[in-house]
A and B are shown apart, each in its own frame.
Chain A
Amino acid sequence: MSKDNQVLEELTSKEYEHGWTTDIETDSAPKGLNEDIIRFISAKKNEPAWLLEWRMKAYQQWTKMKEPTWANVKFPEINYQDVIYYSAPKQKVTPKNLEDVDPELIKTFEKLGISLTEQKRLTGIAVDAVIDSVSVATTFKETLGELGIIFCSFSEAVQKHPDLVKKYMGSVVPVNDNYFSALNSAVFTDGSFCYIPKGVRCPMELSTYFRINAANTGQFERTLIVADEGSYVSYLEGCTAPQRDENQLHAAVVEIYAMKDATVKYSTVQNWYPGNKEGKGGIYNFVTKRGLCYGDSSKISWTQVETGSAITWKYPSCILRGDNSMGEFYSVAVTNNYQQADTGTKMIHIGKNTKSRIVSKGISAGHSQNSYRGQVHIMKRAEGARNFSQCDSLLMGDQCGAHTFPYIDVENNTARIEHEATTSKIGEDQIFYCLQRGIDEESAVALIVNGYAKEVLNQLPMEFAVEAQKLLALTLEGSVG
């Protein structure tokens, strides 16, 4: 066995840090999916009739659809009847403010480094904290309210802002867009809602933190962000889950609607439980994220750092409808052990002089498979459209795979499209150079990988960038190739 392989075999990657569970009583639906379960969820949430109807339609459509098979991932068949579709931490009263929230839950988030109580003083980030199926707390609501910004759980938005929800939900990701979006539309339980009024620049980062806690439970949340004319918001999303031997399903939908001159930046650091070193357990992450640049000169920028999940199936996309609108996708996807990631983006150019930029950095280690899948579509009307794509792959060791599937459709010959792709390996030479300067091997890998991903990490808000750097290092710990 070569030395490279030996080091890889020794792969003592640090155990997943957030694998613990919180011992809290939950209020759950029985396993399985049928119309009664959907009625149960809708009733639990005290929903208006139109929403139950919407769910039922989605369910009907889902039953006629098939799980997609085109992604470069392999997994045993999912038994959708073996999943719990609703699980909520039992709270004695419905919390009106933080003082009413169960201290166990506050502790749970504190353990994750997210302080709901001290949030106000410490970081200047507003947080919506979601456990399993429901949002448990949203901070900073009042401050934001003064600017007319609505930031609350999806359930609350349904109650308090039904017109906005009704108008925009499903307008970017139609119910029947794909198998998982239909499933989500039928059974979604909570998520975040955000509306930024005309001309308002949101003064702080908004963030949702998702935590799956209960066993055998799927998490199906929806996030809807509506940015009115000339507004700006930067949005963060983080997630973790306990370490469990069985796979757990996460099928979310995120919709962003940007009007004229609005800018939305959406950043994710995805750290779902990836399964153990032999590939047992872990989250199946099947997520539909899409932004609509509806108005002229609007801009939507996706940044994602994907380190967790057993399987990632995710293509944050932009529909560039408005003239001069712009879409960006910056991604670092790391896979180690037996993780599989099939991720990328779609940039659909409809308006004139629309621009898109794609920077994808894949890092594969262990026995993992890492695929970039991207589509750039320039439609007939998109006079003067431009796209730049850069897709790099970094391999660590020789047991893993990196794949690139770029699709380009051009229907307007004034389009300018550039595509660059590279594949490289972390060299023994680079590692030795670091060692010779007194830097240990783990730090050397962290340094090299962070250097490689720098262009993407630079897009993240400061606090998140630091967390992301540590996470990259942690995911790859020990896997020198």
Chain B
Amino acid sequence: MNFSKFLAGKLLLTSELPLTKPTIDYLFRTNQSKQLPSITTKYGRHQCNRCGNRNQQLFADIPCARCDHPHLYCRNCIQTGRVLQCDILIVWNGSKPAWPLQTQPCHWTGTLTPPQQKAADAIEQTIEYKQKELLIWAVCGSGKTEMLFPAITKAITESKRICIATPRADVVRELFPRLKQAFPDTEIEALYADSPDRTDKGQLIISTTHQLIRYQEAFDVMIIDEIDAFPFHHDKTLAYLTTRACKKDATSIYLTATPRPEHKQKISHKKLPVQFVPIRFHGQPLPIPQLKIEINLRKKLQKGTESKALQQFLTTRPESRQLLIFVPKIPLLKKVAERYQAIAVHAEDPDRKEKVEQFRQKKIDILVTTTILERGVTFPSVDVVILDAGHHVFDEAALVQIAGRAGRSPDDPGGNVLFIHQGKTNAMEDAIAQIKMMNKKGKKL
């Protein structure tokens, strides 16, 4: 049997390896696999070789009943399986996997808009010339998945291995069927916690970043969706895992609608190549947020009294559209929802999925929410209001993302975006400037 498809590019605990002990021993004996220590200690400092953790507070002692000794385990990566110090990590050392030759792997029959095509070409060339990285700065609603198809096609015909990594499992679940349809003859895997679509032999892998913990030097092409949503600055583990999963000469493609300051800076210093997709797939400009100041807004929200600006907006807004109201904090949700006969939803809401689905089916007219609905979710025809847009949770990226919920459908590309605030912030100004810049770029096309 050829194990290379299952094991190449992986870094696995013995418990994660679906092979019998004699088979594993055979692989070691024939030098097709190598073993690494799971936790190593240098100068008194421990390191987990599975997740890269070096934070000493995240190592703990366990009186291990397997080896009858007390020793360390890693708490940093325990959500994806426990690393005991007496365990080993298994890596592949045998032949390279041979992916089936395909000359025309892509069965998608749609066409790309000219701006999409331009971005698709740029991605393809970046991979072709084995360049290190490219950032695609594409506005909300630009249709980024389709833009990836030409590059994925190219990579498959060259027998390359591709990963699409995203911070959210929802996105993995959404992309998986679309990619399976577009590339029906390619082995595709969807990886998230408890995923049923894990085959362990994918050439194209759609994965949450956390699941990359089982890969090492696996991918020729790494596509990172929503690079700005990665909590990279809080959690070094995810950046480490993404880098480790790439082969040495891999190409990374970053997708974002709202790049973080560090990426913007790299772009302006020409240290990071960028390709803009400044216009939506339907060709209409992004709605520009309107600002409305209201004295004592925070006090009013706190007390549950009405916001004049919102009241005024409600009397004038078109009835054909639904309304999304964003508030900065969970405690405000209920107060606002009660006043406007709306439904409230937040991140830890057990009925979150149902409520969002009801809104999608237009069974709910007004949905009040915190920043959880700022990205990813698409409703065809909504107006958007932020109450207290000056609150610090609404940074530039969040404001651009929230404004990006409006006008998604070609049938109703307008949509009102209203920021109600009690004092204009830099974030609001920068967000509006960013939206205007994109619209200007879009016009020039």
B is bound to A: no
Q: Measuring CB to CB, which residues of chain A are less than 8 angstroms from any residue of chain B?
A: none
Q: Measuring CB to CB, which residues of chain B are less than 8 angstroms from any residue of chain A?
A: none
